[in-house]
Structure 1
Amino acid sequence: MGNNQSRTVKKHKYQDYQRIRELSRGSFGRVLLVKLKKNPKVELIMKRLPYLDQKDKRAADEEIAMLKKLLTKYTVQFYSSFIYDDDICIIMEYCEGGNLRELLERMERSNFEKIQKQSFKILFDVLSGLQSLHSLGIVHRDLKPENIFFDKDGNSKLGDFGLSMKVFSKSYIKAAGTKDYSPPESLRQNKMTFQSDIWSLGVILVELLTGKHPYEGQSPEETIMNIRNGRMAQLPSEIQGEVREMIEAMLNTDPTRRPSAEELLDSDLLKKSIFVEKKSKKKKLNCCWISFGVGLAAFVILRMFLLVQ
């Protein structure tokens, strides 16, 4: 959605939206897919959160304040909020490409080179979103495949900031989030830092490359114990060199020894991966123009030939 549409959305109230379907429901509230009655082509997310007691109000207000600050294309965009009944409704960008969990479940794993290329594009996008979040002093605290979304063009966007929290005077905050994506320090000491998000992303990167959670046990309890004790499954032989080194750094049990989002984005491996992707896209575009040029030349020659005849 462009800036003009964003400004238009901000003028609307609850009655201006039509519900399409409910996407999820929980103790946190409900997430609905809606559309504007006056412009049915504009589909949006409406997140309805309870807004009665002070605790709920504070949580919702903090989430909205964070969303307003995140103006990067690598995060799900906030457009508007308003009170309706006993809820606050948050209007956000709808990512019609689904989430990373859905992609993981349908990924074709016969071509590792293709998987690695796709994985590093997602890694770059999510790290870019994290860099913006961390620069504002905010830890996501619930980074998992379900909270990474895709727009219609396949670009990754970081979303669901309901558990995100700002780090103030201390260098860490209280732990939160899904246990099998929570780093060792959250399970051992009930604390998280910016590097906790990096660990969670390291787990996601391994899942992208292998299709498996690197700490998965026979039960949820065993998975949590594996994380707590740093017992990671052996990486497959195709993961070598710089890729293996990056994963091992991201999954270091000591958060102080993990790289930051900025450092990872500045790494030769990621720079090289993104450069190759951009070069490939440019090559495809050039090929399209060449094909168009050849076709146009052939058409002109044929037309001249017919005129001469």
Structure 2
Amino acid sequence: EKYGDDPEKTKLNGQKIRFENPRYFTQCYERKNLLGQGAHAKVYKCEDKRDAEKWAVKILEKRMLKPTMEREYYKEIEMMRKMDHPNLIKVHELFQDSERIYIVLELCRGGELFQEINRRKQLQHRWTEKQVARIMFQIFFALKFLHDIDVVHRDIKPENFLLYKEDDDSHI
């Protein structure tokens, strides 16, 4: 099947991946500041114009993706949509146009675990053993869930774990 601009032709394992109207993203969301970026995508904070709710949007540039990579992203998107776990980011909505795929995600206001580790190191305000154990438990809890459904993360590092909020009791 073709992985393209027509939502009716965008399929994964024979099932349609439901994308909203491509213009709907800009009609309903205002893109804000850049939160982070990788090789193929940028993540921005965005605000829903309908209710002022804050979200994150991962924007994938299709021109940067090889056809096989685009297929892999569709698989990842579909898996993310099906996962329901307290330590995994939830997909809210999906959009695509001829140039981009937009994945609207739950916003984690605390930033990357890696940044927080470095920030605390500089301030000499390190986590207690109990806090580290709590964080590690959450990471292992999420990884166990993924492994139980035959999903392998393949890029486990502190940069890929996000803190839900900006405080000492935040969850991953």
Q: Is 1:89 the equivalent of 2:102?
A: yes
Deviations 1:40-98 (A, max 9, x none): 2x111111113365224202201102202220011111112111341111111110011
Larger Rg over CA atoms: 1
Q: How far apart are the structure 2 equivalents of 1:74 and 1:25?
A: 21
Aligned residues of 1:51 and 1:60 also touching (Cα < 8 A): no
The equivalent residue for 2:58 is: 47
Output the amino acid matched with 1:154.
S
Query: If the length of structure 2 is used for normalisation, what is the TM-score?
Result: 0.74
Q: Mapping of 1:257-296 within 5 angstroms?
A: none
The equivalent residue for 2:135 is: 122
Aligned residues of 2:20 and 2:94 also touching (Cα < 8 A): no
* TM-align CA RMSD: 2.4
Offset at 1:11?
6.7
Q: Is 1:35 the equivalent of 2:47?
A: yes
What SS does the aligned partner of 1:139 have?
coil
Aligned residues of 1:50 and 1:56 also touching (Cα < 8 A): no
Aligned residues of 2:92 and 2:104 also touching (Cα < 8 A): yes
Q: Is 1:21 the equivalent of 2:33?
A: yes
Pick the structure with more strand per residue: 2
Q: How far apart are the structure 1 equivalents of 2:156 and 2:73?
A: 19
Output the amino acid matched with 1:150.
L
Aligned residues of 1:14 and 1:84 also touching (Cα < 8 A): no
Offset at 1:116?
0.5
Deviations 1:162-192 (A, max 9, x none): xxxxxxxxxxxxxxxxxxxxxxxxxxxxxxx
Q: Is 1:155 the equivalent of 2:171?
A: yes
Query: If the length of structure 1 is used for normalisation, what is the TM-score?
Result: 0.43
Number of residue-to-residue matches in the alignment: 145
Gaps of 5+ in 2: 1-18
Offset at 1:29?
2.1
What SS does the aligned partner of 1:31 have?
strand
Aligned residues of 1:33 and 1:46 also touching (Cα < 8 A): yes
The equivalent residue for 2:154 is: 141
Gaps of 5+ in 1: 1-9, 157-309
